[in-house]
């Protein structure tokens, strides 16, 4: 099998507990999300040499310290500190000072100096990441969104992106002002004011790279890779997995593998973006970071590359991240790994070396299997 059973790694060596935690029970109520997160939390507990204690229950006593595996980035500093989460070694994921920071809203500047903005907005961040993102704007009012869209339409087609949607859901491409107005019309003013909307140059035939890093205990793994889409049983194109190349160590270790130019550029852009978040949003920290970087042809036909969005929580690539951490944990002399995490719908045939971490029925969709395959030659 391609993975290592969590129970076979180490016996608990120190006091402490690992717990899973649902940040938003309504958004993360699906059985397969809860089961996947629980499986990941158990494997993380084994890597840390701690006991896994299931879902967090504030009324229950636990061996301290507690290590959390939350379903989403924590956007409440006071809550994080009350739980004992004060740094990246206290959770698998991240903590941000304001809710908008965990969304793609931070990626672009506002359309003008007097534009609507949430408390805590940083104009400095847009200046820091100007060379690492595509051309675009974030808007927190209908009027600002119209102004931003019309300014971008002078360059070509514009992609309109709801900031809380994932996997490209809800995005629309508009080619003229009339289409822009139709796109914005159904969006509630309250939703725009609270969460914002992103308007961005549209790339033709883009390739999306995943650039990320995970830190658990004394192990750091950094990687680049690509995502794949797969049809679900309704025919919709959804996330189908990631193909990751991982190294022991940080971004310098990843660059030392001499990746091709387009991947090296994506790594540099993700690193710049991450450093800018750290500098511009006081209180931010994370132990798991993943940045989507797209490369494609811009509206004028030129090659463009930029960070689309960030993830500081359990994500689609986490199965591969943990598989690599387990390999490095088992073999201290190992420096590289090539791991694929795959999500497939229906009763598909699986490879012999598949390490399954979820298999079950998804209500309204059908059978879903999540597994990893590790390249033994790497």
Q: What is the DSSP string of 64-132?
A: SSEEEEESS-B--HHHHHHTT--SGGGBSSEE-SSGGGGSGGGGS--SSTT----TT--HHHHHHTTTT
Exposed e or buried b per residue across 122-157, where buried means at least 16 C-beta atoms within 10 angstroms of its C-beta: beebbebbeebbbbbbbbbbbebbbbbbbebbeeeb
R_g of the chain, CA atoms, integer Å: 21
Identify the helix (H) or strand (E) that includes residue 371: strand 366-374
Per-residue pLDDT of the chain (378 residues; tens, 9 = 90+): 344 444 444 444 567 999 999 866 444 347 778 889 999 999 999 999 999 999 999 888 888 899 999 999 999 999 999 999 999 999 999 999 999 999 999 999 999 999 999 999 999 999 999 999 999 999 999 999 999 999 999 999 999 999 876 655 678 999 999 999 999 999 999 999 999 999 999 999 999 999 999 999 899 999 999 988 888 777 777 888 999 999 999 999 999 999 999 999 999 999 999 999 999 999 999 999 999 999 999 988 999 999 999 999 999 999 999 999 999 999 999 999 999 999 999 988 899 999 999 998 877 778 899 999 999 887
Spatial neighbors of 369 by CB under 8 A, at least 6 apart, are 343, 344, 345, 348, 350, 356, 358, 359
Domains defined along the chain, listed by start: 6-80 (no CATH), 103-132+135-202 (no CATH), 205-374 (3.30.470)
Q: DSSP alpha helices (H): ranges in the chain?
A: 31-48, 77-82, 123-128, 142-153, 177-184, 189-195, 251-255, 261-280, 318-330
């Amino acid at each position: 099998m391609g993975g290592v059973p969590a129970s076979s790694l180490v016996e608990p060596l120190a006091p402490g507990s690992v717990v899973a935690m649902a940040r938003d029970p309504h958004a993360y109520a699906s059985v397969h999300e809860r089961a996947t997160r629980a499986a990941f939390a158990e494997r993380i507990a084994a890597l840390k040499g701690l006991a896994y204690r299931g879902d967090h229950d504030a009324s229950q006593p636990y061996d301290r310290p507690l290590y959390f595996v939350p379903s989403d980035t924590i956007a409440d500093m006071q809550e994080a500190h009350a739980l004992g989460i004060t740094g990246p070694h206290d959770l698998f994921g991240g903590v941000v000072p304001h809710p908008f920071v965990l969304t793609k809203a931070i990626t672009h500047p506002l359309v003008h100096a007097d534009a609507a903005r949430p408390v805590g907005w940083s104009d400095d961040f847009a200046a820091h990441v100007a060379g690492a993102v595509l051309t675009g704007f974030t808007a927190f009012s209908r009027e600002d969104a119209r102004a931003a869209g019309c300014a971008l339409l002078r360059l070509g087609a514009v992609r309109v992106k709801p900031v809380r949607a994932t996997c490209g859901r809800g995005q629309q491409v508009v080619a003229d002002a009339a289409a822009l107005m139709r796109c914005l019309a159904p969006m509630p003013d309250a939703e725009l004011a609270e969460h914002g909307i992103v308007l961005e140059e549209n790339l033709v035939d883009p390739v999306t790279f995943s650039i990320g890093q995970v830190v658990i205990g004394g192990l750091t793994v950094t990687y680049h890779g690509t995502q794949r889409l797969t049809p679900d049983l309704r025919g919709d194109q959804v996330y189908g997995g990631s193909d990751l190349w991982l190294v022991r160590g940080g971004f310098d270790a990843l660059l030392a593998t001499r990746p091709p130019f387009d991947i090296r550029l994506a790594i540099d852009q993700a690193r710049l973006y991450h450093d800018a978040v750290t500098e511009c949003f006081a209180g931010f920290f994370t132990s798991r970071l993943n940045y989507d970087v797209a490369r494609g042809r811009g509206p004028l036909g030129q090659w463009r590359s930029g960070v689309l969005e960030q993830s500081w929580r359990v994500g689609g690539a986490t199965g591969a991240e943990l598989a690599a951490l387990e390999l490095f944990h088992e073999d201290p002399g190992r420096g590289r790994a090539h791991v694929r995490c795959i999500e497939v719908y229906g009763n598909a045939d699986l490879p012999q070396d598949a390490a399954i971490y979820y298999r079950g029925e998804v209500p309204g969709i059908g059978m879903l299997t999540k597994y990893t395959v590790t390249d033994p030659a790497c």
